[in-house]
């Protein structure tokens, strides 16, 4: 082998070594970049799903939370694969605040799911008990009684225990919330005229259709939270917007062949503004001595007491 050939082989060997080294360097540089890119992509996808879950909680808080308000909405856990969103909730009863069951849900790169809902669409955080022949609904976490509404067109086997406001005066020195089902749907202005000034109107229920037992809705009632007892047309338009844009949330709610989504869509089209809208019931709160004013009100068909709290000397009720 001549000298020229040896030199060529050395050059080729060096080039191969350089190429191998360059390949290794490129791999060492590219792998972290690819990992960073994958991480950012997955976190962006997960972030979109967590945002969708928070939006679902916001909509639930706006239209599916009878006298229930949210105090926060945050990521309670977060990982490479996904995480959990939690929302703490509470009730305001004539100036007295009590804790309520939290909302939570899981999300990953391409999906999210509320933990509080099962496949049947019934909120798993509520339990039922039969008391005096009537199904009493309780929040599973706090074990506080839930005020329920009734369908005036539904035939109940027994109406025993459906007029609980008549016994509310027996509870002394307390504040309470009560769900009132009207004898017929009323407008917002009609409700304002008949409500005593020393009782708060906290929530307005749009009602059911002529199907199904409303007591079986597991507190999945559609309506509007009022602030200082009043509603504005903007509040009502937000309700209509949520019904149109978030049908996926309502689509899971079906009870005894009653479709919450179909009824909500019908209601949204029938009533274009607050002035024309009619409500089938309300949730009120106040001192029990003031609630006795409504014991014989002829516009109340049914009434159901919810949470009852003893008045504390250091905290005065709102009314």
Distance from C-alpha of 160 to C-alpha of 262, rounded to nearest angstrom: 31
Residue closest to 154 by CA, chosen among 105, 209, 195: 209
pLDDT at 138: 85
Task: Give the model's pLDDT for residue 118.
Answer: 33
Quote the pLDDT of residue 132.
Answer: 38
* Residue 77: per-residue pLDDT: 78
**The predicted structure's pLDDT at residue 302:** 93
CA-CA distances (angstroms) from residue 95 to 119, 263, 286?
A: 36, 33, 9
* CA separation, residue 86 to residues 75, 103, 122 (Å): 6, 6, 19
Flag residues of the chain having pLDDT under 50.
Answer: 117-124, 128-133
Looking at residue 300, its pLDDT comes to 96
Q: Give me the residues paired with residue 181 across strands.
A: 281, 302
pLDDT attached to residue 119: 31
Instruction: Please tell me whether the overall predicted TM-score, pTM, comes out greater than 0.85 for this model.
Output: no
Pairing between strand 200-205 and 174-187?
unpaired
Would you state the pLDDT for residue 97?
Answer: 94
pLDDT at 256: 64
> Residue 267: what pLDDT?
93
């Amino acid at each position: 082998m001549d000298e020229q050939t040896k030199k060529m082989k050395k050059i080729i060997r060096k080039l191969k070594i350089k190429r191998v080294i360059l390949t290794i360097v490129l791999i060492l540089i590219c792998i972290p970049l690819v990992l960073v890119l994958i991480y950012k992509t997955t976190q962006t996808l997960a972030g979109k799903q967590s945002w969708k879950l928070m939006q679902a909680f916001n909509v639930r808080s706006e239209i599916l939370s009878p006298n229930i308000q949210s105090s926060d909405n945050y990521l309670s856990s977060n990982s490479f694969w996904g995480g959990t969103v939690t929302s703490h909730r509470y009730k305001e009863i004539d100036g007295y605040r009590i804790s309520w069951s939290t909302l939570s849900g899981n999300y990953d790169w391409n999906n999210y799911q509320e933990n509080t809902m099962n496949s049947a669409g019934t909120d798993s955080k509520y339990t039922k008990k039969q008391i005096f022949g009537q199904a009493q609904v309780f929040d599973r976490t706090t074990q506080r009684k839930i005020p329920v509404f009734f369908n005036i067109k539904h035939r109940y086997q027994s109406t025993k225990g459906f007029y609980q406001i008549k016994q509310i005066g027996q509870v002394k020195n307390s504040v309470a919330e009560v769900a009132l089902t009207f004898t017929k749907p009323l407008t917002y202005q009609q409700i304002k005229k008949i409500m005593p000034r020393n009782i708060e109107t906290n929530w307005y229920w749009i009602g059911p259709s002529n199907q199904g037992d409303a007591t079986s809705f597991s507190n999945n009632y559609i309506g509007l939270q009022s602030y200082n007892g009043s509603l504005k047309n903007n509040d009502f338009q937000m309700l209509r917007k949520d019904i149109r844009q978030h049908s996926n949330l309502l689509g899971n709610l079906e009870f005894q062949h009653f479709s919450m989504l179909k009824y909500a869509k019908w209601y949204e089209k029938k009533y274009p503004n607050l002035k024309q809208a009619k409500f089938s019931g309300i949730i009120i709160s106040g001192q029990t001595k003031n609630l006795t004013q409504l014991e014989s009100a002829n516009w109340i068909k049914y009434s159901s007491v919810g949470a009852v709290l003893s008045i504390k000397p250091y905290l005065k009720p709102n009314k």
